[in-house]
Amino acid sequence: MNPPVLETPPPRTWREIPQPITPRAMSREGRRRRALAAARTAGVALVALALGWGGVEAVAIWRKNPGALVAPTGGTALGLVTVRSDGVLGEEWTRAALALSPQARLMALDLAALRARLLVGGQVRDAELTRRLPDKLLVTLYERTPVARVLARAAGDDTPRTLLVAGDGTVFAGAGHAPEAVARLPFLGGVRLVREGEGFAPVAGMAAVADLLAAARAVAPRLARGFQVVSLARLAADGALVVSSDEVGEIVFAAREPFARQLARLELAFASARRQLAAGPLRVDLSLGGGQVLVARQTVAAAAAAGDGGLALPSLSSSPAERPSSARSLPPPPAFSSSHAL
């Protein structure tokens, strides 16, 4: 058994010597270091205080209104709306389409919903909306380019109105387009417009039409200017596009062959026929293949049947059974007058 240990207090050690800081005993460098240390301590304390206060505020806001944390700068009112477009639409149309309220807040805007509003008409192919802090909204529009027009009646409205059709078949109202530019577009025939929501379903086969018109403008601009109607009636069955032209009469293009080559043959055949045949409407068929061009003079009856271009308005009835199958009836077969092998 150990004797009881005498619990005497430990002797005083040097670590118990206080190490006070008395500015009078400090050197200039010491005072500078002390000031820096005090500033650092104050900075750390301030940061800690700010973090703590921020945390308390955040918790309070989270409990009271979590939405305020999602849009922390929701209080900033929307100022300028800047619009950039590669087409004809401007700021006025965009503001109308967006339908923003005057009290709209920049950070509270639902950009996805706004973008959907811009795409509704079909004229805008794509749209980008970007917030520019503090208060700007930048809208960039990518528009569809019309290649043809079509007359259509709205449901419950007997007044036909002109709609535009883009190369991808989208039918849209065509806001902002100049009337003279619209007047230069050929009409579309032989199509059925099917209502889809507020608009129409895309027209099938428009890619071929767009290619034909683009090739015509490039290869034979004079002939292209005379294109009145492009009919899609035989596209599905024969793979042929029938164009009514005020200069030639009727031209049948094969959709599967390059249009530029067909247009070249057309010009040559047209010039040759003009020399050999009397003036009058012709019917040129370029869809025979093998370089064959059928040039026929239309009969008077066929020409009369064609009338002012042979355009018939498509019905807007939703039932396919009630819709006309074609914009115009095909003319009777013309009498052969000559044939050219090119």
Residues lying near another protein in the complex (CB under 8 A) = 1-2, 5-6, 8-17, 19-21, 25-27, 29-31, 33-34, 36-38, 41, 44-45
- Give the end-to-end CA distance of the chain in Å, rounded to a whole number: 131
What are the structure tokens assigned to 95, written together? 């503001």
Amino acid at 266: L
Residue 8 or 319 having the CB closest to another protein: 8
Compute CA distances 152 → 113, 190, 301, 328, 340, whole Å. 29, 13, 28, 15, 39
Distance of CA 170 to the CA centre of its chain: 10
Q: Which of 86, 87, 57, 85 is nearest to 72 (CA)?
A: 57
Residue 43 or 291 having the CB closest to another protein: 43
Q: Cβ 68 to another protein, closest distance in Å?
A: 32
Q: Cβ 17 to another protein, closest distance in Å?
A: 5
- Degrees to nearest 5, angle at CA 160 with 165 and 152: 35
What is the arrangement of strands in the sheet containing 81-85, beginning at the earlier edge strand?
A: 81-85, 136-143, 124-132
Amino acid at 39: A
Q: Cβ 62 to another protein, closest distance in Å?
A: 28
Query: Tokens 């706004």 appear where?
Result: 114
Q: Cβ 24 to another protein, closest distance in Å?
A: 9
Tell me how far apart the alpha carbons of residues 261 and 289 are, in angstroms, rounded to a whole number. 11
What are the structure tokens assigned to 91, written together? 């700021």
Q: Cβ 52 to another protein, closest distance in Å?
A: 14
Q: Taking the CB of residue 216, how many other CB atoms lie within 10 A of it?
A: 27
Q: Cβ 58 to another protein, closest distance in Å?
A: 23
Residue 32 or 256 having the CB closest to another protein: 32
Residue 21 or 69 having the CB closest to another protein: 21
Q: Which of 207, 213, 214, 232 is nearest to 314 (CA)?
A: 232
Residue 44 or 113 having the CB closest to another protein: 44
Q: Cβ 36 to another protein, closest distance in Å?
A: 8
Q: Taking the CB of residue 278, how many other CB atoms lie within 10 A of it?
A: 8
User: Which residues fall within 8 angstroms of residue 170, CB to CB, at 6 or more apart?
Assistant: 122, 144, 202
Q: Cβ 38 to another protein, closest distance in Å?
A: 6
Residue 23 or 290 having the CB closest to another protein: 23
Residue 10 or 197 having the CB closest to another protein: 10
Residue 38 or 300 having the CB closest to another protein: 38
Distance of CA 112 to the CA centre of its chain: 14
Cβ 210 vs Cβ 172: under 8 Å: no
Residue 41 or 65 having the CB closest to another protein: 41
What are the structure tokens assigned to 329, written together? 């009836």
Q: Cβ 30 to another protein, closest distance in Å?
A: 4
